[in-house]
A and B are shown apart, each in its own frame.
Chain A
Amino acid sequence: MRKMLVVAVREYLAAVRTKAFLITLIIMPVLMSGSILIQWLLKDYRDTKTKKFAIIDRTPGTRLYPAIEKTIQAYNEKTIDPATHKAILPRFDLELVSASMNTSEAIAEQRLELSERVRKGELFGFLEISPEVLGWSKGEMGKQEPLLRYQSNRPTNLDFPHLIEKPLLHAIQDIRMDEAHLQAPREQIRAIMRPVSIEALGLTSRNPATGTIEDASLQGRIASVAVPIGFMMLMFMVIMMTATPLMQGVVEEKMQRIAEVLLGSIRPFDLMLGKLLGMTAVSLTITTVYLGSAYGAARQYGFAEYIPPDLLAWFVVFQALAALMYGSLFIAVGAACTDMKETQNLLWPVMLLAMLPMFLMGNVLQEPNSTVAVGLSFFPFATPMLMILRQSVPPGVPSWQPVLGVGLVMLATLLCVWVAGRIFRVGILMQGKGAKLNEMLRWVFHD
């Protein structure tokens, strides 16, 4: 027992006292938020090349084209910065294509022809206006056929359709109102018809300090998504930050033949447990630093209410268990390999397990209490990350769930540690070549 602690203390100090540790501690959050930062920095850098669009207006007398043309003209005037005379937005050019015969063959033929032009790069996309768009009788309401079609080979760039959508709608409504001989002023009708949307908000609460009732805030909405994601990313990051050096350490001990000396003094299982404890302590140190500073900042700026203390406690519990569980798997991989390159081959199943919650994050966030989400959060390798994710999405989970989750993770951790111990015992002395998966299985189940 004492020897295990001696090993744990050495592992902890070896990890924490390096400059690399401090640097990683600072750089990791920067890297993790880096992609968001880059997108934000690059949001003003846009492609300003002129884009050309074809319009097929099948309404009699091309009645809608002028509305589009007017909108685009107004837009094009804004594409040049008046001060610098530099293009800040792409200019849009229009080409009115005369509509084909109104038979399905001719229409399909024309769509193909324009699509070919998009493929060749002559056009960026084309908009097709069905003549039925002007109809307003009841019978025409339920039609499935799209009335406005925008085709392009770059379906993610929707600047053009978004730009003309509203003006076009207004033009269509104007024509419909004319044809229906409505007497009321257009603006009045539009005001009557303006759409109403539902705003999704959190709950209103009474501030215990001031006694005032506080409405659900926008921050609350952001926090209800940001806190769960933040928790989960943090847990994943800390596992990777600590388990990988742990594995490297095992490989180093094998390569440097330190393992043999250690095993002359301590049981392989105790050695491994010591390493695991050391790593868990490192991961809790990192967690304390990150969560502490995040919580401190949250308090400073008045967001502390979104990070309840009991959630922090659960996070620490799950973080520690995840460190033990994944740490033992990483140790087993390290013990089975003779150099760092080999670890890559054996590590992927473990990485897949660790990444699983990340893949499921979106779905679980959406429906944290769906049967699938609940079920997945009881899969022990996903439990630490998914359970904390579900717990931190309001309204949280019934309290039996994290308790059962911790129990299951503990069982899985014991199993992992046992399996890793068997592999470690044989692998740590093995030199020359790394083990195959089937060899590792034999180590686990035989003698």
Chain B
Amino acid sequence: MLAVAIEGVTKTFRQHVAVDHLSLQVPRGSIYGFIGPNGSGKTTTLRMIMRILYPDRGVIRVLDEPGDNKPTDRSILDRVAYLPEERGLYKQMKVREVLHFYAELKGFRRSRPDIDAWLKRMDLSAWADKKVQTLSKGMAQKVQFIATVIARPELILLDEPFSGLDPVNTDVLREAILELRRSGATIVFSTHDMGVAEELCDFICMIYKGRKVLDGTLESIQDAYGSDTVRVHLESSAALDNLPGVVKITDFGRHQELRLAPQADTQALLACLMQCGRVRHFEVTRPTLHDIFVRIARPDAAPEEESHA
């Protein structure tokens, strides 16, 4: 039971290879996170799933559609919803009309009770008969989210759904996503926010320069990198250098993260740190998703990436 199955998909724009031999599988009922730096091919992949773009090579199957479906067959898309990164709504239309229009476009009729329920839930009932142009940015973004999910889709693709939302609306949206999953929908979303990805996603896939570089559960990804990270907090902010077996230090201000060389001795490191000052916190841990992302996507990351591969 797969929501999305991508097999060997390549998409080229003129000379630029946007997606390069990508294969991945999104199980039904999961929350699947796409991470990757800007321009790595996330949006192109989402657009190809939506059949707004067609792959040059490879096959994309959505919601277990029969394999002989033509790539131009869009009937399946009534069960798929898509929220693009840069959003827009018809400014002159009223909120309820816009939502009704999008529901109809997906072939979903009698959408009125659903619209009312969603507006209430998103705290927008008072705005139902106001024009879209009178809404604040956050409200418009919520309306756009409702427009995306109004036709009860089975697969929901969200491109950067949290960008630009305040913490309150972020929570509202996250709860909505979790509830949609509970009711059986599959959610695929792209994000730059590693915290959100760690919290929400059952599966994480990282695309970098059009290729898949990570794929799996958060645990499996972190396991692949091993416990090579030490998080320390020293009382005095002494300079940390010349530490044995440490290849990289990331200073977060209140604490530091040290990355260890393979087979480095954590005991020797602790001893050395105690020389530098009083150690408040010393934790041998797995790298965060943020750290893994940065390791892969930093301009100088290439050699380190190979050492882990």
Closest to B82 in A: A264
Give the most central of B89, B93, B105: most A CB within 10 Å: B105
Minimum CB–CB distance from A426 to chain B (whole Å) comes to 10
CB-based contact B50/A263 at 8 Å:
yes
Return chain B residues, CB-CB under 8 Å to A14: 90, 92-93
Q: Within the assembled complex, what's the spacing in Å between the Cα atoms of A260 and B84?
A: 7
CB-based contact A266/B93 at 8 Å:
no
Q: Within the assembled complex, what's the spacing in Å between the Cα atoms of A256 and B86?
A: 8
- Total number of B residues with any Cβ neighbor in A under 8 Å: 28
Minimum CB–CB distance from A85 to chain B (whole Å) comes to 60
Q: Per-residue CB proximity of A248-284 to B under 8 Å, as 1/0? A: 0000010111101111111100000000000000000
CB-based contact A257/B93 at 8 Å:
no
Cβ contact of A267, chosen from B74, B82, B89, cutoff 8 A:
B74
Q: Per-residue CB proximity of A13-53 to B under 8 Å, as 1/0? A: 01000100000000000000000000000000000000000
Cβ contact of B105, chosen from A255, A260, A265, cutoff 8 A:
A265
Q: Per-residue CB proximity of A375-397 to B under 8 Å, as 1/0? A: 00000000000000000000000
CB-based contact B101/A6 at 8 Å:
yes
Q: Per-residue CB proximity of B81-125 to A under 8 Å, as 1/0? A: 111101111111100000001101111000000000000000000
Closest to B50 in A: A264
Q: Verify if A2 is at the interface (C-beta below 8 Å from B).
A: yes
- Total number of A residues with any Cβ neighbor in B under 8 Å: 21
Return chain A residues, CB-CB under 8 Å to B84: 257, 260-261, 264
Q: A6-B101, A14-B93 are in contact. Are A261 and B147 (CB under 8 A)?
A: yes
CB-based contact B88/A256 at 8 Å:
yes
Q: Verify if A429 is at the interface (C-beta below 8 Å from B).
A: yes
Q: Within the assembled complex, what's the spacing in Å between the Cα atoms of A262 and B82?
A: 10
Q: Verify if A3 is at the interface (C-beta below 8 Å from B).
A: yes
Q: Verify if B302 is at the interface (C-beta below 8 Å from A).
A: no
Give the most central of B77, B78, B88: most A CB within 10 Å: B88
Cβ contact of A262, chosen from B53, B105, B107, B148, cutoff 8 A:
B105
CB-based contact A261/B102 at 8 Å:
yes
Q: Verify if A10 is at the interface (C-beta below 8 Å from B).
A: yes
Return chain A residues, CB-CB under 8 Å to B148: 261
Q: Verify if B52 is at the interface (C-beta below 8 Å from A).
A: yes
CB-based contact A263/B104 at 8 Å:
no
Closest to A447 in B: B54
CB-based contact B93/A3 at 8 Å:
no
Return chain A residues, CB-CB under 8 Å to B86: 257, 260
Of the A-B pairs whose beta carbons lie under 8 Å apart in the complex, a sample of 30, sorted by A's number, is A2-B107, A3-B105, A6-B101, A6-B104, A6-B105, A10-B101, A14-B90, A256-B90, A256-B91, A257-B86, A257-B88, A258-B88, A258-B89, A260-B82, A260-B84, A261-B84, A261-B87, A261-B88, A261-B102, A263-B52, A264-B50, A264-B80, A264-B82, A265-B78, A265-B105, A266-B74, A266-B105, A267-B74, A429-B47, A429-B53
